[in-house]
Structure 1
Amino acid sequence: MGEVRKLQKKLRQIENLEIKISLTSEEKYKISRKAELRSRLAELQLQLSGPQQTLGIVGDGKKEKMKRQVEDAPEALPSQTPPASKILKGEAESRAPASPAPAARTRERGGEAGTGRQQDGTQAAEVSDHCRSASAGRSDPSEEQQLEQEEADFTSLRASWEKAKFRLRRLDGHNDIVTCAVAVDNLVVSGSRDTTVKVWHVPTATEQKNLGGHTGGVTCLSVPPPEYCKRLAWSLSLSDRERFLLSGSADCYVKIWALSVGQCVKSIYTFNAVTALCFVPEGDGYIVAGSDGGKVQAWSWHTFENCQSASAHQEAVTSIQSQGPLVFSGSAGGEVSVWENRRSARDPLRLLHRWSGQVTGCRGGPGGRLTLSPRGDRVFLGYGRAWLKILHWKTGTTSRLTNHSSITGVTDCVHQTGGLLIGSCYDLANGESTLNLFSLPQCRYLASLTWPDAPRILCFAAWTTGSGDHRWVTGGRDLIVWEQLPSSGKRRGDVTVRRDGGLDSCSLESEGDTEDDEETDDHEDDDDSGGAGEGAPAGAEDGGPGSWLRCVLQ
C-alpha cells in the first residue's frame, strides 16, 4: 500500500508540473516517466483488488443492487436553482428522505459519530437524531408507499440520465489553463492563467471580447444579479440591461467589467493576491474576496469602500460561496468558515462557525485546494481525493460520498444545478476524466459522463435554457461548452454516458467509517523528487498535491 501512495503522489506532482508555464530539464524528465508510473500503479491496483473485485469496471445498472442511503438532516435553505424540466421531472417527489442504512442505525445505538469533535477546541459537535426518528416510523404503511414511490422516481430519473446526450464545443482562445468560468445569459466568461478574461457567445461558440487588464493570472470570477447591476449602470450612463462581471487576480486587484462595452469600470486594490471571490446579494450588495494569505475582505457595492478585513484562515482562501445571507469560505488547509451578513456599513460579516481541517477531514497539506458548494445546512467539499465530503456546518459532523471507485481518483470541483450534485473526477492512473452525477438531496449516484481524451476539469459552471435543457461549461486545459440534446432525437451526442459499478453500490458514510480517509504520504520524502532538491517543501517546485493553486499564482 505504501508504494501505491508514493506512486499516487508522484503522479499528482507530474499532473501539476504539466500545467506550469516553464519547466526545467529535471521536471521534463519527471513528466517523461508518467506512462511508466501509471502502468506500475495499474498493476499494483489489480494485485490489491484481489479476485473478488476489479477497480474501474462499469457495472450494468439493471443488475447492480442499490444500497440504502444514510439519511441527511433536513435542509434549512433549499437550492434556488430551478430544476431542468426535461431531465429532472419528479425531482420534487424524490426529496422524501431515504431510508437509513442498517450500519448507520448501529452506529447511532453505539454512539454518535463525531461527538468528540469540537469547534476549534471550544464547542462540542452535536449529531442530529433525525435518522432515529425517521427509522422509528418505518412500519407505517403510508411511509412504505412513500419509499416505494421515491424509489420509482429515482429509477425513472436514473433511466433518463442514462439516455442523456450532449453536444460538446471547444472554445479556443486562451493560451494557458482556464482557472474559472461563469455563465451570463447566453454568454460564457472565462478567466485564465494567461491573465485575460474572455467573453464567449455560446450559440455561435465565438469569442466576443478579450478583457485584458490584469497583470497576473486570473483566479476567480463572479456575476452580480441583474437587479444589482441597474444602479451602477445608471451611474455610468449605460443601459439598464448592462451586466457586470467581477474578476480577481494574483496581481492583487478585483476588477469590475461592463460586459457590453468590454471595459473595466472599477479597480479595487486588495494588497494581497486574490484567490477567491463572490458577490453577496443582500442589502446594497457586497463584494467578498479571499486572499492567498488567508484574509477575507468585503467591499460595499454601493460605495466600493472596504468595510471589513478579517484574518479568517491560516492558509490561502481557495473558495467563497454565498447562500442567502450566509457566506462560506474554505481554505487550502481544509478549514471551513460560515459567516452571516448583517447588512452593516462596517464589519458586515459575523463569524458563526469555523471548522478546522481536522474536523472536515480535508487536510490536503500546504498549498492544497478545497472547493465548496453550500446547500441548506450542508456544505459539499471537494479537496483532491477520491471522495466528496459533506459537512453539516451547524454541528461539525461530516459524511463521505464516494466520487471514484479507485483511490487514484482526485476531485477538483463540486457543483449543484437543477437538483443535481456534480463532482469532477480525474484518475491519476489512466488519465481519464469524468463528471459524476448524484441526485439531491439524497446524494444517490445517477451516472458518469465522459468523452474520448477528456482533459482534467478544474472549474465548472452550469445553467438551464428557457426550455429546461442543461448547458454546462468546463475549464482546465480546454474550455468546453456542453449543450444538452433531446434524448428522443436521432442526433448522436459527443458524451459517453455510463454507470460505474463501484459508485453504484456505494452509500453515504458517516465519518466513523472513513478511517482510511486520512492524508496519504503527501508529506513523505520523495526518493525521486526531480528538480525539487533536498529539503524543498512539499508542493513547491515539485508540484505537490495542492500546487495547482500555486501554479495559478505564479
Structure 2
Amino acid sequence: MGEVRKLQKKLRQIENLEIKISLTPEERFKISRKAELRSRLAELQLQLSGPQQTLGIVGDGKKEKMKRQVEDAPEALPSQTPPASKILKGEKESKAQATPAPAARQRKTGVEAEIGRQQERAEPAKVSDHCRNMSGGIPDSEKEQQLRQEEAEFASLRASWEKAKFRLRLLEGHNDIVTCVVAVDNLVVSGSRDTTVKVWHVPTATEHKNLGGHTGGVTCLSAPPLEYCKRLAWSLSLSDKERFILSGSADCYVKIWALTIGQCVKSIYTFNAVTALCFVPEEDGYIITGSDGGKVQAWSWHTFENCQSINAHQEAVTSIQSQGPLVFSSSAEGGVSVWENQCWDRDPLRLLHHWSSQVTGCGGGPDGRLTLSPRGDRVFLAHGRAWLKILHWRTGTTSRLTNHSSITGVTDCVHQTGGLLIGSCYDLANGESTLNLFSMPQCQYLASLTWPDAPRILCFAAWTTGSGDHRWVTGGRNLIVWEQLSSSGKQRGDVTVKRDSRLDCCSLESEESTEDEEETDGTHTHDLDYEDDTDEGKGVEDAGSSSWLRCVLQ
C-alpha cells in the first residue's frame, strides 16, 4: 500500500503541474513520466484487487450502516429559490402566518432564514409497530404504498436515463485552460486562464464575442438575473434586453460586461486577486467576492461601492454561492461559512455558521480546492477526493456520497440542475473522466457519462431547452457543449449513458462508517511519509499549494 500511495500522490502532483502556464525543463521531465507511473499503479492495483482489499468500496459488513435516504427538510431547487419576501424566518412564524412577512420585517427579526416551505421530514424506511399505531400517524398500508410508489418513480427515472444520449460539440477558441462557465439564454460564457472571456452561440457552436480586458487569468463568472440587468441597462441608457456578466480575475478586478455590445461597462478594483464571486439578488443586489487571501467582500450593485470586507478564511476563497438571502463560502483550508444578507447599505453580511475543516473533513490537500453547491439545509462539497461530502450546515453533521469506485478518482466540481445532482470525476490512474448523475433529494445513483479520451472537467453549467431536454457545458482543457438527443438519430461519437454497478452498492454513507477508511485510503497527502530521492515531491508540492492554482481548479 505504501508504494500505491506514493504513486497516487505523484500522479496528483503531475496533474497539477500540467495546468501551469509555463513549465521548466525539469517539470516537463516529471510530466513525461506520467504514463510510466500510471502503468505501475495499474499493476499494483491489479495485485490488490482481491475482495478483501477492494479499494474505495464499502465491505458487506458495513452496508447496513449506509444511509439509503437522506433525512432532511425538502428544499427548493436553485432555479426555484423564492425571493426574500417569500422566505420564512423560523418555524414559529411559518406556522403562525398565512402569508410571509415583508422583506424589511424579516430582516429585523434577526432569525436564521428558513429556505423552502416547512414540511415534514422524510419518513425512515422502517418504523416500529408502536410508532406506526400512534394517533395521527400514517397507516401501515399507506406507508407501504408510498414507499412502493417512490421506488417505482425512481426505477422509472433510472430507466429513462439509461436510454439517454448526448451529442458533444467542441467550442474552439481559448488557448489555455477554461476555469469557469455560465449559461445565459442561448449563450455560453466562458472564462480562461488566457485572460479572456468568450461568448458562444450554442445552436451554431460558434464564438459570438471575445471580451478582452483582464490582464490576469479569469477565475470566476456570474450572471445577474434579468430584472437586475434591466436596472443597470436603464442607468447606462442601453436596451432593456441587454444581459450582463460579471468576471473576476487574478488581476484584482471584477469587470461587468454587456454581452450584446461586447464591452466592459464597469470595472471594480478589489485590491486582491479575485478567486470566487456570486451575485445575490436581494433588494438592490449585491456582488460578493472572495480573494486569494481569504477575504470576503460585498459590493453594491447600485453604487458599485464596497459595503463590507471580512477576513473570513485562513486560505484562498475557492467558491461562493448564494441561495435566497444566504451566501455560502468555502476556502482552500477546507472551511465553510454561511452568511445572511441583511440588505443593509453597510456590513450587509452576518455570519450564521462557520465549520472548520475538522468538521467538513475537506482539509489537508496541498492543492486545497473545494467547491460547493447549496440546497436547503445541505451543502454538497467537492474537494478533490473520490466522494462528495454533504454538510448539514445548521448542525455541522456530515455524510459522504461515493462518486468513484476507486480511491484514485478525484471530484473537481459539483452542480445541481432540475432534480439532478451531477459530480465530475477524474481517475488519476488511467486519465478517464466521468460525469455521475444522482437523483435528488435522496442522492440515489442514476448513471454515468463518459467517452474515450474525455478531458478532465473542472467547471460545469447546465440548463434545459424548451422541450425539456438537457443542455450542459463543461470546461477544463476543452470547452464542450452537451446536447441531449431524442430516442432516435444516434450518430457515431454520440455519448450514451453507462452504469457503474459498484456505485449502486455504496452510494450514501454515514460519516461514522467511513472514518477508518478515510484515514487509510491514501488520498490525504498531508499524512503520507513520502520520500523522493529526486526531490520530485517538494517542487511539485510548492506548485500545488499556490493560491493561483487553487482558483484555477475551482
- TM-score, with length taken from structure 1: 0.85
2:514 corresponding residue in structure 1: 514
1:78 corresponding residue in structure 2: 76
2:187 corresponding residue in structure 1: 187
Equivalent residues of 2:412, 2:425 under 8 A apart:
yes
Greater percentage in helix: 2
In the TM superposition, what whole-angstrom CA distance separates every residue of 1:355-374 from its partner, at most 9, and x where no partner exists? 00110000133441000000
- Aligned residue for 1:437, secondary structure, equals strand
**1:316 partnered with 2:337:** no
For residues 21 and 530 of structure 2, what CA distance do their matches in structure 1 show? 23
Higher relative contact order (CA 8 A, sep 6+): 1
Letter in 2 for 1:311: N
Alignment of 1:54-69 (within 5 A): 69=67
For residues 31 and 306 of structure 1, what CA distance do their matches in structure 2 show? 43
In the TM superposition, what whole-angstrom CA distance separates every residue of 1:429-472 from its partner, at most 9, and x where no partner exists? 00000000000000000000011110000000000111111000
1:219 corresponding residue in structure 2: 219
Equivalent residues of 1:323, 1:374 under 8 A apart:
yes
1:118 corresponding residue in structure 2: none
**CA distance change for structure 1 residues 258 and 374 in 2, over 3 Å: closer, same or farther?**
same
Letter in 2 for 1:316: A
Letter in 2 for 1:71: Q
Segment of structure 1 superposing worse, 25-34 or 217-226? 25-34
How far does residue 314 in structure 1 lie from its aligned partner after superposition?
0.6
How far does residue 9 in structure 1 lie from its aligned partner after superposition?
0.7
2:341 corresponding residue in structure 1: 341
Letter in 2 for 1:79: L
Alignment of 1:320-469 (within 5 A): 320-469=320-469
In the TM superposition, what whole-angstrom CA distance separates every residue of 1:378-415 from its partner, at most 9, and x where no partner exists? 00000000010000000000001000000000000000
Equivalent residues of 1:400, 1:510 under 8 A apart:
yes
**CA distance change for structure 1 residues 367 and 134 in 2, over 3 Å: closer, same or farther?**
same
For residues 144 and 242 of structure 1, what CA distance do their matches in structure 2 show? 52
How far does residue 141 in structure 1 lie from its aligned partner after superposition?
1.7
Equivalent residues of 1:75, 1:378 under 8 A apart:
no
Alignment of 1:87-486 (within 5 A): 135-136=127-128, 140-486=140-486
How far does residue 529 in structure 1 lie from its aligned partner after superposition?
7.6
1:124 corresponding residue in structure 2: none
**CA distance change for structure 1 residues 552 and 434 in 2, over 3 Å: closer, same or farther?**
closer
RMSD: 2.7
Equivalent residues of 1:46, 1:55 under 8 A apart:
no
- Aligned residue for 2:518, secondary structure, equals coil
How far does residue 235 in structure 1 lie from its aligned partner after superposition?
1.1
Equivalent residues of 2:364, 2:525 under 8 A apart:
no
Letter in 2 for 1:314: Q
Equivalent residues of 1:67, 1:507 under 8 A apart:
no
Letter in 2 for 1:540: D
For residues 416 and 3 of structure 1, what CA distance do their matches in structure 2 show? 37
**1:540 partnered with 2:542:** yes
**CA distance change for structure 1 residues 258 and 316 in 2, over 3 Å: closer, same or farther?**
same
For residues 418 and 186 of structure 2, what CA distance do their matches in structure 1 show? 18
Which of 529, 532, 540 is the aligned partner of 1:528? Answer: 532
Equivalent residues of 1:77, 1:375 under 8 A apart:
yes
Equivalent residues of 2:66, 2:509 under 8 A apart:
no
How far does residue 47 in structure 1 lie from its aligned partner after superposition?
2.1
- Aligned residue for 2:314, secondary structure, equals coil
**CA distance change for structure 1 residues 477 and 502 in 2, over 3 Å: closer, same or farther?**
same
Segment of structure 1 superposing worse, 266-275 or 17-26? 17-26
* Structure 2 unaligned blocks of 5 or more: 58-62, 82-119, 133-138
Letter in 1 for 2:485: L
Equivalent residues of 2:276, 2:551 under 8 A apart:
no
In the TM superposition, what whole-angstrom CA distance separates every residue of 1:221-253 from its partner, at most 9, and x where no partner exists? 000000001111011111001000000000000
Letter in 2 for 1:339: W
How far does residue 130 in structure 1 lie from its aligned partner after superposition?
7.1
- TM-score, with length taken from structure 2: 0.85
1:549 corresponding residue in structure 2: 550
- Aligned residue for 1:347, secondary structure, equals coil
1:121 corresponding residue in structure 2: none
**CA distance change for structure 1 residues 304 and 200 in 2, over 3 Å: closer, same or farther?**
same
Count of aligned residue pairs for this structure pair: 499
For residues 67 and 185 of structure 1, what CA distance do their matches in structure 2 show? 44
For residues 190 and 530 of structure 1, what CA distance do their matches in structure 2 show? 39
For residues 66 and 440 of structure 1, what CA distance do their matches in structure 2 show? 22
How far does residue 348 in structure 1 lie from its aligned partner after superposition?
0.6
1:88 corresponding residue in structure 2: none
Letter in 1 for 2:170: R
In the TM superposition, what whole-angstrom CA distance separates every residue of 1:178-201 from its partner, at most 9, and x where no partner exists? 000000000000000000000000
Letter in 1 for 2:127: S
How far does residue 70 in structure 1 lie from its aligned partner after superposition?
3.4
- Aligned residue for 1:514, secondary structure, equals helix
Equivalent residues of 2:403, 2:507 under 8 A apart:
no
Equivalent residues of 2:65, 2:509 under 8 A apart:
no
How far does residue 18 in structure 1 lie from its aligned partner after superposition?
1.1
Identity %: 79
Letter in 1 for 2:265: V
1:501 corresponding residue in structure 2: 501
For residues 509 and 56 of structure 2, what CA distance do their matches in structure 1 show? 20
How far does residue 202 in structure 1 lie from its aligned partner after superposition?
0.3
Equivalent residues of 2:164, 2:485 under 8 A apart:
yes
For residues 435 and 178 of structure 2, what CA distance do their matches in structure 1 show? 17
For residues 454 and 207 of structure 2, what CA distance do their matches in structure 1 show? 22
- Aligned residue for 1:211, secondary structure, equals strand
Segment of structure 1 superposing worse, 19-28 or 253-262? 19-28
Equivalent residues of 2:316, 2:331 under 8 A apart:
yes
For residues 169 and 492 of structure 2, what CA distance do their matches in structure 1 show? 14
1:5 corresponding residue in structure 2: 5
How far does residue 52 in structure 1 lie from its aligned partner after superposition?
6.7
In the TM superposition, what whole-angstrom CA distance separates every residue of 1:70-120 from its partner, at most 9, and x where no partner exists? 33233354114379xxxxxxxxxxxxxxxxxxxxxxxxxxxxxxxxxxxxx
How far does residue 3 in structure 1 lie from its aligned partner after superposition?
1.8
2:99 corresponding residue in structure 1: none
For residues 14 and 188 of structure 2, what CA distance do their matches in structure 1 show? 30
